[in-house]
Structure 1
């Protein structure tokens, strides 16, 4: 299952924040919404990269950039 390498679940990227991620998902609606959006974008990128869904290179790049922006925002909230 090579495609799992491209999956970027937040808790595996920031293991030191695993508990805080869980706490914020249940207590902070803004964080929860961002997290949900991040996971949806991440899954979409994986589907595109693995050919499950087809999209243009531009579409894939746009989703990857969005994923980075969302991750940066989530990270900022985790560090706050």
Structure 2
């Protein structure tokens, strides 16, 4: 299973991510949303019984990509 935690996706920005989580409420909200979506995807992918549809899982993956792009843009501009 591939790791999609934000600090794993952007290891060179780990210090900045940790600092923004503390200092910027908007960033923290986006970060928490990303991590929640990522955790839900992992739950569905790791479960022996998948309690969701392929469409729902695909939608969650698209949302994760969108949120990751938003977070990356935020990190680059701040």
CA–CA distance in 2 between the matches of 1:8 and 1:68? Answer: 10
Q: TM-score, normalised by structure 1?
A: 0.88
> Is 2:72 the partner of 1:79?
no
Task: Name whichever of 45-54 and 21-30 sits farther off.
Answer: 45-54
Shift of 1:12: 1.1
CA–CA distance in 1 between the matches of 2:2 and 2:37? Answer: 12
State the partner residue of 2:40: 44
State the partner residue of 1:28: 24
Q: Is residue 11–residue 17 contact of structure 1 (8 Å, CA) maintained in 2? A: yes
Residues 22-72 of structure 1, C-alpha deviation per residue, up to 9 Å, x if partnerless?
A: 111011111100100100000100111122651000100010000000000
Q: Structure 1 regions of 5+ residues with no counterpart? A: none
Q: 2:58 aligns with which of 50, 58, 61?
A: 61
CA RMSD of aligned residues (A): 1.2
